[in-house]
Amino acid sequence: MKHLTLPAVAKLNLFLHITDRRPDGYHNLQTLFQLLDVGDELTFTLRQDDEIRLDCNNSELINEQNLVLRAARLLQQYSNCTQGCDIYLDKRLPMGGGLGGGSSDAATTLLGLNKLWQLNLTTDTLAGLGLKLGADVPLFVRGYTAFAEGVGEKLQPLPMAEKVYLVVTPDCHISTAEIFQHPDLTRNTPIISVDQVLTAPWRNDCQPLVEQLYPIVAITLQWLVEYAPCQMTGTGASVFAAFPDQTSAQHALAQLPPSWRGFIAKGVNQSPVWAALADTE
């Protein structure tokens, strides 16, 4: 096998509870990660040498900090692999919007190169490597909708009704670090058990603070709630609502103010990346 094209889908946090702050400054969370069926696409091509090169439809993303390059280099180093690759990233997801696009790209890179370089590393090993790159990477490596604890790395599969979501991303950049460092962040939500997930009220502890600091997020939520109950994902800025069907989601999307960005996606319990990998067997 010389080429491999794989999806890197988005996620939503159907709820996000912050339960405490750890001595290392990070926060323990409880969250329900819902995978979606839309995202970026990555193509991996074997090279004759051991170089790793990245190309992308967004030239600003072609740099050493890109999580795709960092994931590829980490895997090459970990496995002492002498092979290289050209990687093309087709960036489709809004960036820095709480949809996990960068983390998903990193996970797809770990999964894709494990296959292309025939490393045969286990999913546990890849998830462990992914955690070094970001808290959400293990979710995308494992590829199932899940209840998560810790910083998001302790995952239990939790299949959900596969609903239709409208996701709207207002034009503002929110720093995850700024939100987590803010004194007004709610960080003492009581811990719930996995049995309580479906009955507990779902809320995002970052949302009130983000609405206060970034009024455009509050305005976007006020727009969306006219159509369906809505919430913010991650540390923002994207917001989402579940709709009973494609038609009603499409109706709301058609009313979106011109400068806003939105898309419709279906919630999925299994990441399409795993089905795509199985197709290459």
Residue numbers in the known binding site are: 94-104
Site for ligand ADP in 93-132 (CB under 6 A): 95-103, 105
> Using the rule CB under 6 A, is 27 a contact of ligand SUD?
yes
Site for ligand SUD in 160-219 (CB under 6 A): 176-177, 180
Q: Which does 130 bind (CB under 5 to 8 A by kind): ligand SUD, ligand ADP, none?
A: none
Catalytic residue among 2, 11, 20, 55: 11
Distance CA 45, CA 5 (A): 9
> Using the rule CB under 6 A, is 151 a contact of ligand SUD?
yes
Helices 67-78 and 123-131 pack at an angle, to 10 degrees, of 130
- Nearest-approach distance from CB 280 to ligand SUD, in angstroms: 28
Nearer to ligand SUD, 45 or 176 (CB): 176
Name the CA dihedral angle for 177, 179, 180, 184, rounded to a multiple of 10 degrees.
150
Q: Which does 152 bind (CB under 5 to 8 A by kind): ligand SUD, ligand ADP, none?
A: ligand SUD
Q: Which does 66 bind (CB under 5 to 8 A by kind): ligand ADP, ligand SUD, none?
A: ligand ADP
Distance CA 253, CA 102 (A): 25
> Using the rule CB under 6 A, is 78 a contact of ligand SUD?
no
Nearer to ligand ADP, 73 or 251 (CB): 73
Q: Which does 175 bind (CB under 5 to 8 A by kind): ligand ADP, ligand SUD, none?
A: none
- Tell me whether residue 163 is one of the annotated catalytic residues: no
- Nearest-approach distance from CB 41 to ligand SUD, in angstroms: 20
Q: Is the peptide bond before 252 cis (omega within 30 degrees of 0)?
A: no
Catalytic residue among 40, 91, 105, 136: 136
| Closest chain position to ligand SUD (CB) | 234
> Using the rule CB under 6 A, is 251 a contact of ligand SUD?
no
Burial class (CB in 10 A: 0-12, 13-18, 19+), 195: exposed
- Tell me whether residue 136 is one of the annotated catalytic residues: yes
Nearer to ligand SUD, 4 or 14 (CB): 14
Q: Which does 249 bind (CB under 5 to 8 A by kind): ligand SUD, ligand ADP, none?
A: none
Nearest C-alpha neighbor of 162 from the set 34, 44, 38, 271: 34
- Nearest-approach distance from CB 14 to ligand ADP, in angstroms: 15
Distance CA 25, CA 176 (A): 13
- Contacts with ligand SUD by CB under 6 A: the residue count is 18
Which residues does the annotation mark as catalytic?
A: 11, 136
Residues that bind ligand ADP (CB under 6 A): 61, 65-68, 95-103, 105, 234
